[in-house]
A and B are shown apart, each in its own frame.
Chain A
Amino acid sequence: MEKNEEKPSQEGGQELRDAGYLVLFWEFFKLGIMTIGGGMAMIPQMQAIMVEKNHWVSEDDIIDCIAVSQSLPGVIAINMATYIGFEKRKLKGAIAATIGVLLPSLMIIIAVTELLHGIGGNPYVKGALIGIKAAATGLIGWSAYTITRRVVKNWFAAALAIAGFVLITFFNVNAVWVILGSIVLGLLYSRITEKKAPENDAEQNAAGREEH
């Protein structure tokens, strides 16, 4: 009994929880509504729902999900929904999450084209949209800050983050090339650091021996 009570408190928020199909569908349905201003607007909300509230995936899983979704073809929001859905519940989970993220678009676009032809001219609607996009900008900025703090731990990571930012923002380089390049550099870097580590040990041992 005591052991059973101890376990959850030890693991704390680290332990990942299961996700049902309906919950996956519903959370991604809400995310589908949220993506005003591009799939990236989903990220802050994904962190809040998937990591903090439901403990479905870890913060690193979200980062991997963003990277994979960006480097494969297709709509980023659909890619991210399929990714998380598949990770939690295989194919059926992926279907539930993907339908969830698609459904708001289907319903809203049909409603808008049928009923509200003049909606674009309404100054309040326009203003609300500016407000929401400004908020999305701030939310994405905050995600960029938290994710940077999490992944940038050495000079190599810092250089890659800055290079990726500059190449995409100022030189319009396709994200796919940037991610492919980062894979090559990551492989080279781990090769070099792994080779160095035993060498350093050997050098230290040798130095130690010389001192004696």
Chain B
Amino acid sequence: MVYLLLYLQFAKVGLLGFGGGLAMLPMIYQTALTFGAMSKGEFSNLVAISQMTPGPLAVNAATYVGYNTAGVFGAVVATIGEATPSFILISLVVSLLTMFRESPLVEGAFKGIRPVTAGLIGSSFILVGESVFTSWNPIPIIICAATVFMIGKLKWSPITIMVICGIAGAFLCH
């Protein structure tokens, strides 16, 4: 039964895939191969579409494989499969955290986790930036700097800023 198979295969991706997004793509590729629904060329097509449509990359990829394998219901099943392990694990962790919030062990652990998370976000800034600032084209850099001004000084909402920058990019970046 293809739906059950899709669900289980993508539950496996959700359970074993660390690091999110691009780090999970090789696993999704192997999964796509087991369904025989996709060639290598189609997979790079999938990556391109997933990257330039809104939504988390790994969710987009699961939806795409599910849809190409078994239509709309296949897409739904694959996507829910991918979310199931996250759902169970995170719910467990949040319950445990709220139970033991006051314990010195949890407090001590968060003394280490919080600063390192700041470093982690700093490195995503570099990683996402690398995929945009590929050439010496100054326009993306100007847009990026303008974004910092719009959120930091003008306090505009991120959605407004993204819409403005999308429109600016459409006319300036080609």
Residue among B24, B110, B133 with the most chain A CB within 10 A? B110
B98 proximity list for chain A (CB < 8 A): 87
A143 proximity list for chain B (CB < 8 A): 121
A38 touches B56 (CB 8 A): yes
A163 → chain B, closest Cβ, in Å? 7
B58 proximity list for chain A (CB < 8 A): 75
B85 → chain A, closest Cβ, in Å? 6
B158 proximity list for chain A (CB < 8 A): 34, 44-45, 48, 139
Q: Contacts A140-B121, A151-B117 known; A109 to B75 CB distance under 8 Å?
A: yes
Q: In the docked arrangement, what's the CA distance between A113 and B50, Å?
A: 10
B57 proximity list for chain A (CB < 8 A): 38
A91 proximity list for chain B (CB < 8 A): 91
Q: Interface residues of B toward A: which range?
A: 35 or more
Q: In the docked arrangement, what's the CA distance between A101 and B67, Å?
A: 18
- Verify if A64 is at the interface (C-beta below 8 Å from B): yes
Chain A binding surface, main DSSP class? helix
B164 proximity list for chain A (CB < 8 A): 135
Q: In the docked arrangement, what's the CA distance between A37 and B172, Å?
A: 20
B166 touches A64 (CB 8 A): no
Instruction: Report the tally of A-B residue pairs with Cβ distances under 8 A.
Output: 384
- Verify if A131 is at the interface (C-beta below 8 Å from B): yes
- Verify if A22 is at the interface (C-beta below 8 Å from B): no
A138 touches B105 (CB 8 A): no
B85 touches A73 (CB 8 A): yes
Contact for A164 among B67, B82, B110, B119, CB less than 8 A: B119
A169 touches B115 (CB 8 A): no
- Verify if B63 is at the interface (C-beta below 8 Å from A): yes
Q: In the docked arrangement, what's the CA distance between A135 and B122, Å?
A: 15
Report the stretch among A9-17, A76-84, A200-208 that lies at the interface. Answer: A76-84
B59 touches A129 (CB 8 A): no
A residues neighboring B (CB under 8 Å):
30, 32-41, 43-45, 48, 60, 63-64, 66-70, 72-79, 82-83, 86-87, 91, 94-95, 98, 101-102, 104-106, 108-110, 112-113, 119-120, 123-145, 147-148, 151-152, 156-158, 160-166, 168-169, 174-176, 178-179, 181-187, 189-191, 194
Sorted nearest first, the 7 A-B pairs with minimum C-beta distance are: A131-B169, A186-B112, A164-B119, A138-B147, A74-B86, A105-B55, A135-B165
